[in-house]
Amino acid sequence: MEVKELERDKNRVVLEYIFDEKEIEQAEDKATRYLNQRVEIPGFRKGRIPKNILKLRFGKDFQEYVLDFLMDLIPETLKDRKLIISPIVTKREIENSSARMVVEIHEEPEVKIGDVSKIEVEKVDEEKVLEKYVERRLEDLREKHALLEPKEGSAEIGDLVRVTMEVYNEEGKKLTTREYEYVLKEGEDRPFVKDLVGKKKGDIVEIEREYEGKKYTYKLEVQEVYKRTLLEIGDELARTVSNEFETLEQLKESLKKEGKDIYEVEMKESMREQLAEKLPEVVEIEVSEKTLDILVEESINRLKKEGKYEQIVSSYENEEELRKELKNRILNDIKRDRAIEVIAKEKNIEVTEEELEKEAEELAPFWGISPDRAKALVKSRQDLKEDLRWALLRRKVLDALLEEVKVKVVEPRGEGDNNEGRKEDN
Does 362 score more than 70 pLDDT?
yes
Which segment of 26-35, 42-51, 288-297, 330-339 scores lowest on mean pLDDT?
Answer: 42-51
103 shares a domain with 6: yes
Query: Residue 216 sits in a domain of what CATH number?
Result: 3.10.50.30
* 104 part of a folded domain: yes
Is residue 146 classed as helix, strand or coil in its secondary structure? coil
* 401 part of a folded domain: no
Final residue of a domain: which of 209, 229, 249? 229
CA torsion 123→124→128→134, rounded to 10°? -110
Alpha carbon separation from 23 to 73, 104, 332 (Å, rounded): 9, 21, 43
What is the percent of the chain where pLDDT is above 90? 90
How many C-beta atoms lie closer than 10 Å to residue 336's C-beta? 20
* 279 part of a folded domain: no
Residue 426's pLDDT is what? 47
The mean predicted confidence, pLDDT, of the chain is 93
pLDDT, tens only, 291-350: 999 999 999 999 999 999 999 999 999 999 999 999 999 999 999 999 999 999 999 999
* 241 part of a folded domain: no
Cβ atoms of residues 341 and 84 within 8 Å: no
Does 86 score more than 90 pLDDT?
yes
List Cβ neighbours of 255 (8 Å cut-off, separation of 6 or more).
133, 134, 137, 138
User: What's the mean pLDDT in 353-380?
Assistant: 95
77 shares a domain with 20: yes
Residue 414's pLDDT is what? 64
How many C-beta atoms lie closer than 10 Å to residue 156's C-beta? 13
List Cβ neighbours of 88 (8 Å cut-off, separation of 6 or more).
103, 104, 105, 294
97 shares a domain with 151: no
Q: What is the pTM of this model?
A: 0.80
| Count: domains in the chain | 2
78 shares a domain with 10: yes
**Helices first, then strands: H and E counts in the chain:** 13, 13
Final residue of a domain: which of 229, 253, 271? 229
213 shares a domain with 157: yes
List Cβ neighbours of 112 (8 Å cut-off, separation of 6 or more).
283, 284, 285
Does 96 score more than 90 pLDDT?
no
* 368 part of a folded domain: no
**Is the backbone of residue 10 left (phi > 0), alpha (psi -120 to 50) or beta?**
left
Final residue of a domain: which of 176, 203, 229? 229
Query: Residue 11 sits in a domain of what CATH number?
Result: 3.30.70.1050
What is the DSSP code string of 300-344? Answer: HHHHHHTT-HHHHHTTSSSHHHHHHHHHHHHHHHHHHHHHHHHHH
7 shares a domain with 69: yes
- What DSSP designation does 209 have? E
Rounded CA-CA distance 343/112 in Å is 10
* 255 part of a folded domain: no
Residue 99's pLDDT is what? 96
89 shares a domain with 12: yes
80 shares a domain with 21: yes
* 84 part of a folded domain: yes
pLDDT, tens only, 237-275: 999 999 999 999 999 999 999 999 999 999 999 999 999
pLDDT, tens only, 55-85: 999 999 999 999 999 999 999 999 999 999 9
User: What's the mean pLDDT in 198-215?
Assistant: 91
* 31 part of a folded domain: yes
Q: In which domain, by residue range, is 167 found?
A: 147-229
